[in-house]
Structure 1
Amino acid sequence: MDKRILLLAAAGLLAVPAQAADKITLGFMSTLSGPNAIIGTEIRDGMQLAVEQLGGKIGGLPARVIVEDDQQKADVARQLAEKFVQSDKVDAAIGFSFSNLMLAVYKPLVDAKTVTISSNPGPSQLAGKDCSPYFFSTSWQGDNWAEGMGAYLQKKGLQNIYLIAPNYAAGKDVIAGLKRFYKGSIAAEVYTPLTQLDFSAELSQIKSSNASAVFAFYPGGLGVQFVKQYSQAGLKEKFPLYSAYTVDESTLPAIGDDALGLIVATSWAPDLDNAANKKFVSGFEKKYGRVPAPYAVHAYDTIMLLDTAVKAVNGKIEDKPAFLAALRKAQFESPRGAFKFNTNQFPIQTFYQGEVKKGADGKPRIVIQDKALENYGDAYAQTCSMK
C-alpha cells in the first residue's frame, strides 16, 4: 500500500461512508419573553406547525427540538449557542429574533461548523463579507423590505421624508436599504434606544417638522407602541406613515384601527394564491386560532428546507458537504411561492407594497396592491466570497 495512504489511514483521515443518523437534533433560540416576545412566539409557532405537519420527523428522521429563550440579551444568546454546540451537540441551530443577537451567536456557531438557519434576522455583514457556508437565511436580508419601500416611494416621487428607527444593527440596515432606492430629500434621520416605548418627544418633533411623510421601522412590541401613539397624536392625516417590519399580522390585532391607511412593504401575505400557502395558513389558523405573520412563514420554511435536505442525503446529515449542498438547492415549496438562494445563501424573492384596510370581518388586514421589487436578492451578495 502507498505510504501516504497508510499515513492517512493511521491518522483517521480516510473518507468513511457516512451512516444515516437515527435522529436529528435542532437547537431553537428566539426571544420568548418581554415586550418583543410577539416576534419570537410567532417564529416558534411556525416552526412547531411544520414539525407537526411532518409527523414529528424531518427528512424521515425523528426530530428533537430544544427550545430556548434568549431573553433578548446578547450574553444569554451567546451562552445558549455554546450550549447547543458543546453539550446539546445539535445538528442545526435555528430560529433567532434580533440582528444584534444573531451577530452575538454567529461566530460560536459557524466556527464550530454548526449548520445555522435564521428565520428572521439578516444582518448585512452575514450576507456580505462575513458570509459562511454554514449560515443560511430563510427570511430576508435586513435591508430588503425597506428596499422595497424605497423603490415604491421613489416611484411615487415623494420628497422630504422623515426617517425613524431603533438604534441597533437592523435599524441601521433598514434605513440604509430605504436610501438605496429612495433618492428624494430627507427631512430628518432619527434613531431611538431599542428599549424605548414612549415616543412623545419624537412625535412632537415630527409635528413641528416640514416633512411630507414619515418612514418608520419598529419591530414587534415597539411597532405596536409607535403606531398607536402616532395615530393618537393625530399625525396620520398630515404625515402619511410608511413602514417596513413595523406592522404585520402579528401586531395588527394589538394596534387595531390605529393602523388603518398605513402603507407597508412585505414579502408575503395570507392571501397569496398557491397550494403551500393555503396549507400553511389553514394549518396555522386551526392550530393557533389566529392569522400568521411573515415570521411564522420563515420558520415554517426553515423546517421544510431541512426536511428536503435531509431526504436528499438519505438521512446522512453527518456528511456535512453533502448536507450543505442539499440545503443550498432549497428544493421545497414555500408559502411565498418560488424560493431559491442567492450565492450568499439568502433568499431571492419578490417584495410587495400593501395597505392596511378593513377586511370583510371588520378587522384590519394587509392588502397587497403592487409589486415593489421582483425576484430581488440583496446588495451584499457581491461581497460574499461564496460564488
Structure 2
Amino acid sequence: MRFLTRKLIAAAALSLMAGYATADVKIGFMATMSGPAAALGQDQYDGFMLAVEQGGGKLGGVAVQIVKEDDQLKPDLGVQLVKKLTESEKVDVVAGLTFSNVMMAIAKPLGDSGVPFVGSNAGPAPLAGDQCRANFVFASYQNDNQAEVLGQYAVDKGYKKMMLMAPNYQSGKDQVVGFKRFYKGPVVAEVFTQLNQPDYSAEIAQVQALQPDAIFAFFPGGMGVNFIKQMNQSGLLKKVPLLTVSTVDGTTLPAIGAAALGVLAGGPWGPDLPGQANADFVKAFEAKYQRIPSQYAAQAYDSAHLIGSALQATGGKAGDRPAFLKALHEARFDSVRTNFKIGANGFPVQDEHVYEVAKDAQDRVSLKTIATPLKSYVDAYASQCKPK
C-alpha cells in the first residue's frame, strides 16, 4: 500500500509537471502572502486561482502556468522577485501586487522590462499620472478612489469636523489626499501611524480629546482588526461614525465579528452588488474556500478574466505585446463590478460605493451597499498620464 501511495504521488507530480510543460502562457503572480497582512495577498491568489480552476487550467481558453511569489511586504524583495520573474522565469505576464510601497519599488524594473502587468490591488497615484507605464493595466482601483467616495459621502451627511487616520506609506498618503479631494470641511487632525502598528491607544486618546464629528480611517489587514477592536473596547465605536477604506472587509470581518456592525466602508466592490457574474463569483468562492470573498479576491478574479479576455482576443499570443496590451485595455469580459472599463491611463473607470457592516441573509457579518456617490468615476490623475 505504501509503495502504491508513492507511485500515485509520483504520477500526480508528473501529471502536474506535464500540465506546466504544455502551458502556452506563463503568468507570474506576486502578492504579500506572509506576515500580518498575509490574508490580503492570499485572498488575491485564491480569487485568481478560482478563475483558473473554473477554466480547467486555462484563461480565455489558453493553458496557463502560474508562478507564485510572496513579496513579504518588502520592497527590496519585490524588486528581486520581479527580476526573477521577468529575466529567469521569462513570464509572459506579471499579475497581483498587494501594497503600494512594493508596487512603487518594482515599477521601474517591471516597466522597463516591457512585460505586461495586470494589477489586482495596489494603485499608487504616481502610476496613474506622470509615472504611468504603457505595459501596466490595473484591474483594481487607483488608491485615492475609495477614499474619494467617502469624502463625498461625508459631505452628503454634513459632517463638519473630521479626523483622518492612515499608516505612513504611499497608499496611506493617497487615501488622505483622496478623502480631502471631495471633503473640504474642517479637519481636526491628520494622524499617520507606523505600517503594521498593533496598538492604537494613543490615537484613540486623540479621538477622545478632539471629539470629531466622524473619523476617516485606512487600516488594511491586521491593522484594521486591531484598530476596530480597540475602538470598540474604548466605547467610541458606537459614538463616533467611522468611515473606512480596506479596514472592514472579507479579510478582517471574520476576526472582528459583530463589533464592527455599523462601520462604513468605501470601495468599488461588495458581495451584494447586482449582476449574474458577481452572484456566480460569490457562490463559487464561498463553496471552494468556505468564507465570504473580499474585494481583494474579487479584483484578482476580475484580473484573471481580464487576462483571459486578452488571450482570447489575440489567439493566445501574449508575446505580441502591442496586441495583447490593446486587448487588455478593451476589457471584454463580464466584471463582478458595475460599469467597469479600463481608462486611458490603465486604471479602471467604475462605480464607487459606500457599504455598511451588517448581517446578511445567513446572519453573517458582511457588507451591505447603502449608497453610490460616484458613478463611472475617472481617477484624478488620468489627464497627467503620458505612457512611456
TM score, norm. by length of structure 2:
0.92
Please state how far the C-alpha of 1:155 moved relative to its aligned partner.
1.2
Q: Distance in 1 between matches of 2:273 and 2:369?
A: 9
Q: What amino acid is the match of 1:374?
A: K
Please state how far the C-alpha of 1:386 moved relative to its aligned partner.
4.4
Partner of 1:188: 189
Residues 175 and 84 of structure 1: is their aligned pair in 2 closer, same or farther, counting only changes over 3 Å?
same
Partner of 2:320: 319
Q: What amino acid is the match of 2:252?
A: T
CA deviations 1:303-333 (Å, max 9, x no partner) are 1011111111112221111111111110010
Q: What amino acid is the match of 1:239?
A: V
CA deviations 1:168-225 (Å, max 9, x no partner) are 0000000000000001111100000102110011111111113121111101111111
Partner of 1:227: 228
- Runs of 4+ with >6 A deviation: none
Please state how far the C-alpha of 1:63 moved relative to its aligned partner.
0.7
CA deviations 1:320-354 (Å, max 9, x no partner) are 11111111110010011332111101000001112
Partner of 1:302: 303
Residues 358 and 84 of structure 1: is their aligned pair in 2 closer, same or farther, counting only changes over 3 Å?
same
Q: Distance in 2 between matches of 1:179 and 1:336?
A: 25
SS in 2 for 1:354: strand
SS in 1 for 2:366: strand
Please state how far the C-alpha of 1:301 moved relative to its aligned partner.
0.8
Partner of 1:265: 266
Please state how far the C-alpha of 1:22 moved relative to its aligned partner.
6.0
Please state how far the C-alpha of 1:361 moved relative to its aligned partner.
3.4
Partner of 1:37: 38
SS in 1 for 2:210: coil
Partner of 1:107: 108
Partner of 1:350: 351
Partner of 2:19: none
Q: What amino acid is the match of 2:171?
A: A
Structure 1 unaligned residues grouped into runs of 5+:
1-20
Please state how far the C-alpha of 1:370 moved relative to its aligned partner.
1.2
Partner of 2:14: none
SS in 2 for 1:308: helix
CA deviations 1:37-57 (Å, max 9, x no partner) are 010010000000000011101
Give matches, 1:150-169, under 5 Å. 150-169=151-170
Partner of 1:14: none
Partner of 2:142: 141
CA deviations 1:91-119 (Å, max 9, x no partner) are 01101110000011111111010111110
SS in 2 for 1:97: coil
Aligned-residue identity in percent: 47
SS in 1 for 2:352: strand
Number of aligned residue pairs = 367
TM score, norm. by length of structure 1:
0.93
Does the CA-based 8 Å contact 2:117-2:137 persist in structure 1?
yes
